[in-house]
Each structure stands twice: as structure tokens, then as C-alpha cells.
């Protein structure tokens, strides 16, 4: 087997992880989750979960990856015994499923860049909605799904240093610069102050009344946006050649991802409030219907919109490559398949699995809810139990490398994994399964009934 690659530079790893974390989750999913779950109330719970659960679980993934220098399937086979050895497969399957529909949604963003350049954004929300439906399903969706997938395959095919590391060094700074520019623009809009109070001042009553839906939504979003629960961070940390301070790196990555999602809220909500749109309405179409309509209403909106959607596409690309890398690294490490054929073969299979979601939006929900509300949090729960209760000695030993003095931080980390993460995630998985059952017997059954 060829020698396993490592990151060329310190920042290469951090940028790749940030590139993975910052994606559709921050720009497409985050605003409509906030909108549907009550604004600032959601934001507070989300931030708490990021710190109390997201951070410890991210470090757990890092430690597993660096210790074993293996893809998630191989890493768990080496560290775990008994049933633990098979957990990597759950990650493999989850990654496969995520990328299949992620690429479809990313394809919409490419199509919207073109709509902007052609001056085709429509100011009327009703018509914008019809336009979105025609972009989001059918032949258009299929075509742009294929184009996006081809771009992902190209980057991953080039490998860790020449592909991923090079790409993220350009992509990540570009994303940050453009979003900050757009947030400044939004600040000048008439609806800005109303939007800020909706987004930034939480109402405890709303939290108390709605925790059953806020909690799983916020936890799913926290895992999705940080790329946790399916082994991306295991894989990326497995390419670390030197012993870096993983806690510090995790802090930087989480800070940047959370900061960027926060800025997206500052971009999007003033536009909603200025256009007179209730942020709870848009759902999965939020940035594609409501925001695109707002762009249609503005002078130079076509240009702003094209820039915005290009940013989303770029962010989606740096995330999608991380998902594909998990799956490809398994084939390369364990099956001894060359990188290029592995990438092309598995990429084509993922493309095919994504095809149903180009038929109807409800099928996007079918995949997205399964992934976010169940599989990722389940993956996180398993990781928390595994690292917190089973291999904690090895884990602490590994974390200590690169940290001069762990002090009480190590014990705190294990404690967070053992109790708050495990209990919190158990509740969330249970609520997620109930919610998914309701979706299957509700919206989804209705759709099947209508179609057949």
C-alpha cells in the first residue's frame, strides 16, 4: 500500500475541518431551523448544546482519528472489541446517505447562481416559490446534482494535499469575506432592528413551551453543522502527522463555524423582516424562495444574489468533499483500492442513491430528517459512550500529546462525555425517532397517498 498522506501544514488541517463544518448547514439549514423553532429561543439552546456536547464529541473524534491513523471503520476496529468494532459501518452508511441528498441541495445553489446572472430572480414570493419548485425537482435538479457531484469527485480524486488542502485554503477565506460583506449590507435595511430583536433576545417562555421540538432540532443542527457523528473529524484527524493541541484546534474550528452561522442569521433575518416575511414560514425553501425574492426586489439584487449563492455553493463543496473523504478513506485504507477508482466508483453510487430526492421535496425531508434527527445524534451517542466509558484511558493519553499541561481539563472532558452528552443525546435520539415516525405516518404517508 502507498504511504498514507498527511496534511502539509498546520493550518491545512484546521481549514479543512472548518471547510467541512461550514456548509449548507450554516447557510441553508440554520436560518430555517431558527425560523421554525422560535428565533432566539432556538439560538440559545443551540449554543448551549454546541458547548456542552458538540465540543467534547469533536475532541473524541479527533482523538480516535489521531490515535489510529485510520478511517472510521478501521479506527473502531482497532480501538474497540466486540460490537464496537462495527460502529464504523454506521458512519460509513450515514456519510453515504448524507452526501446523496446534500449534493442535490448544493445543485440547487448552482442553479440559483445562474438565475442571478440571467437576472431571473422574481420579486413576487408566490412566483418565486413556483420557480423554486421547478428548480428543486425534476430534470434541472438531476442535472445540477450531477454537476456538483462531479466537482466533489474531482477534488477528492486529487487526494489530501493536492486536492482537499489546496481547495479549502482558497474557499474558506472567500466564504468568510463575502458573508461579512453581506451582513454589513443587511445592517442598512429597514427591517434590521426588528430582525435583531427576533434573533437575539430569547424568551424563556417559548423555550419552556417548545423544548420537545427545540431540543432535537437544535441537537441535530449542532451535529450537522459541526460535521459530527459520522466520522469526518476522525478521518481528518487521522491525517495529522504531528501532535497538535487538539482541544485548541477544536475550539478554533467550533468558534469559526458558530461565528459563521451567526453571521448568516445577521444576513438573512433583516432581509426577511424588510420583505415582510414571517421567518417561521419558509422551511427548506427559505433561502431559495424568500431570500431570492428579496434579491429580485433590490437594485443589483441579481448580482448580490449570484454572489450569495456562489458562496453557498463553495461552502457546500468544501463540506461535501469531507463526507466523500470518509467513504473513500475506508476503501483506500482497508480495501487497498486506489484513490481514483475508489472515488469514482463510490461517487457514482452516491449519485444514484440521491436521485429519488430530485423527484419531490418531501423526499429531501425523508433523507434529511433521518440523518439529522436520528443517525447523526445516534452516532454521537455511541461515540460519547465509547470514549467516555470504554476507552477513556487511551483517549486521555492521546489528548495529552500536544497539550503541555492537561490539568483538570481531561477529567472535565471525560465527565462531559459520560453524563451530559450521554443523557442529552439519549433524550434527543428518542425524540428524534418519535418525530420521524410522525413524519412517516403524516406528511410522507400523505405524499405517497397522493402520488399513487
Q: Is 319 in the site for ligand TRP (CB under 6 A)?
A: yes
Binding to ligand TRP (CB under 6 A) within 273-312 occurs at none
Nearer to ligand TRP, 288 or 302 (CB): 288
Is residue 204 helix, strand or coil?
Answer: helix
What is the DSSP annotation of 91-128? HHHHHHHHHHHHHHHHHHHHHHHHHHHTT---SSHHHH
Nearer to ligand TRP, 322 or 343 (CB): 322
Binding to ligand TRP (CB under 6 A) within 90-109 occurs at 98
Q: Is 265 in the site for ligand TRP (CB under 6 A)?
A: no
Distance CA 318, CA 174 (A): 12
Stretch that binds ligand TRP, among 112-120, 180-188, 223-231, 297-305 (CB under 6 A): 223-231
Contact string 372-401 vs ligand TRP (x = CB under 6 A)? ----x-------------------------
Q: Is 21 in the site for ligand TRP (CB under 6 A)?
A: yes
Q: Is 322 in the site for ligand TRP (CB under 6 A)?
A: yes
Q: CA angle at residue 106 from 104 to 108, to 5 degrees?
A: 75
For 240, phi and psi rounded to 5 degrees?
-80, 125
Q: Is 230 in the site for ligand TRP (CB under 6 A)?
A: yes
Please state the closest distance from residue 33 (CB atom) to ligand TRP, in A: 11
For 242, phi and psi rounded to 5 degrees?
-110, 165
Q: 344: which 3 cell numbers?
A: 469514482
Residues in contact with 69: Cβ distance below 8 Å, sequence separation at least 6, in sequence order: 4, 238, 239
Q: Is 263 in the site for ligand TRP (CB under 6 A)?
A: no
Stretch that binds ligand TRP, among 133-141, 225-233, 356-364, 421-429 (CB under 6 A): 225-233
Q: Are 215 and 187 in contact (CB under 8 A)?
A: no
Nearer to ligand TRP, 106 or 363 (CB): 106
Is residue 4 helix, strand or coil?
Answer: coil
Distance CA 268, CA 28 (A): 10
Distance CA 162, CA 339 (A): 13
Stretch that binds ligand TRP, among 57-65, 69-77, 220-228, 243-251 (CB under 6 A): 220-228
Nearer to ligand TRP, 189 or 382 (CB): 382
Determine how many CB atoms are found less than 10 A away from the CB of residue 181: 14
Is residue 276 helix, strand or coil?
Answer: coil
Stretch that binds ligand TRP, among 54-62, 224-232, 327-335, 415-423 (CB under 6 A): 224-232
Q: Is 68 in the site for ligand TRP (CB under 6 A)?
A: no
Site size toward ligand TRP (CB under 6 A) is 17
Distance CA 173, CA 19 (A): 10
Please state the closest distance from residue 30 (CB atom) to ligand TRP, in A: 8
Distance CA 18, CA 41 (A): 26
Q: Is 25 in the site for ligand TRP (CB under 6 A)?
A: yes
Of 14, 17, 20, 306, the one binding ligand TRP (CB under 6 A) is 20
Is residue 391 helix, strand or coil?
Answer: coil
Stretch that binds ligand TRP, among 8-16, 119-127, 221-229, 341-349 (CB under 6 A): 221-229
Stretch that binds ligand TRP, among 20-28, 238-246, 348-356, 420-428 (CB under 6 A): 20-28
Of 24, 155, 284, 381, the one binding ligand TRP (CB under 6 A) is 24
Nearer to ligand TRP, 25 or 31 (CB): 25
Cell 474497540 belongs to residue: 80
Distance CA 71, CA 65 (A): 7
Q: Is 49 in the site for ligand TRP (CB under 6 A)?
A: no
Q: Is 34 in the site for ligand TRP (CB under 6 A)?
A: no
Determine how many CB atoms are found less than 10 A away from the CB of residue 268: 29
Stretch that binds ligand TRP, among 78-86, 304-312, 319-327, 427-435 (CB under 6 A): 319-327
Q: Is 26 in the site for ligand TRP (CB under 6 A)?
A: yes
Q: 160: which 3 cell numbers?
A: 489530501
Burial of 31 (0-12, 13-18, 19+ CB in 10 A): buried
Chain positions contacting ligand TRP, by CB under 6 A: 20-21, 23-26, 98, 224-225, 227, 229-230, 232, 319, 322-323, 376
Amino acid at each position: 500500500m502507498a504511504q498514507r498522506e498527511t496534511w502539509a501544514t498546520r493550518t491545512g488541517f484546521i481549514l479543512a475541518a472548518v471547510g467541512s463544518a461550514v456548509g449548507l448547514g450554516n447557510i441553508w439549514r440554520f436560518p430555517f431551523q431558527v425560523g421554525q423553532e422560535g428565533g432566539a429561543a432556538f439560538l440559545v439552546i443551540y449554543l448551549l448544546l454546541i458547548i456542552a456536547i458538540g465540543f467534547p464529541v469533536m475532541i473524541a473524534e479527533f482523538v480516535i482519528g489521531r490515535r489510529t491513523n485510520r478511517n472510521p471503520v478501521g479506527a473502531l476496529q482497532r480501538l474497540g472489541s466486540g460490537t464496537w468494532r462495527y460502529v464504523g459501518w454506521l458512519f460509513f452508511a450515514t456519510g453515504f446517505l448524507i452526501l446523496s441528498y446534500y449534493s442535490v441541495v448544493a445543485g440547487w445553489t448552482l442553479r440559483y447562481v445562474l438565475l442571478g446572472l440571467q437576472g431571473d430572480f422574481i420579486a413576487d414570493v408566490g412566483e418565486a416559490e413556483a420557480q423554486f419548485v421547478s428548480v428543486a425537482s425534476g430534470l434541472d435538479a438531476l442535472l445540477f446534482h450531477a454537476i456538483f457531484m462531479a466537482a466533489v469527485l474531482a477534488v477528492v480524486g486529487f487526494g489530501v494535499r493536492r486536492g482537499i488542502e489546496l481547495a479549502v485554503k482558497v474557499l474558506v477565506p472567500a466564504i468568510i469575506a463575502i458573508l461579512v460583506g453581506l451582513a454589513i449590507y443587511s445592517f442598512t435595511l429597514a427591517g434590521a432592528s426588528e430582525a435583531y430583536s427576533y434573533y437575539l433576545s430569547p424568551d424563556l417562555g417559548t423555550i419552556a413551551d417548545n423544548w420537545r421540538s427545540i431540543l432535537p432540532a437544535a441537537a441535530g443542527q449542532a451535529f450537522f453543522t459541526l460535521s459530527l457523528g459520522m466520522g469526518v473529524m476522525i478521518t481528518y484527524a487521522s491525517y495529522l502527522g504531528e501532535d497538535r493541541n487538539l482541544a485548541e484546534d477544536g475550539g478554533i474550528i467550533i468558534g469559526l463555524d458558530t461565528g459563521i452561522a451567526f453571521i448568516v442569521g445577521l444576513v438573512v433575518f433583516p432581509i426577511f423582516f424588510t420583505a415582510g416575511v414571517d421567518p417561521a414560514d419558509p422551511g427548506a425553501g427559505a433561502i431559495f424562495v424568500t431570500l431570492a425574492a428579496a434579491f429580485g426586489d433590490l437594485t443589483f439584487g441579481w448580482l448580490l444574489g449570484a454572489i450569495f449563492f456562489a458562496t453557498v455553493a463553495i461552502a457546500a463543496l468544501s463540506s461535501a468533499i469531507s463526507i466523500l473523504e470518509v467513504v473513500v478513506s475506508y476503501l483506500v485504507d482497508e480495501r487497498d483500492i486506489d484513490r481514483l477508482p475508489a472515488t469514482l466508483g463510490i461517487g457514482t453510487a452516491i449519485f444514484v442513491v440521491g436521485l429519488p430526492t430530485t423527484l419531490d421535496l418531501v423526499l429531501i425531508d425523508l433523507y434529511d430528517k433521518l440523518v439529522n434527527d436520528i443517525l447523526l445524534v445516534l452516532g454521537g451517542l455511541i461515540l460519547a459512550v465509547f470514549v467516555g466509558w470504554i476507552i477513556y484511558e487511551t483517549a486521555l493519553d492521546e489528548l495529552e500529546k500536544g497539550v503541555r499541561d492537561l490539568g483538570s481539563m481531561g477529567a472535565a472532558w471525560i465527565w462531559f462525555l459520560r453524563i451530559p452528552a450521554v443523557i442529552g443525546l439519549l433524550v434527543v435520539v428518542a425524540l428524534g425517532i418519535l418525530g420521524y415516525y410522525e413524519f412517516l405516518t403524516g406528511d410522507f404517508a400523505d405524499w405517497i397517498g397522493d402520488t399513487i
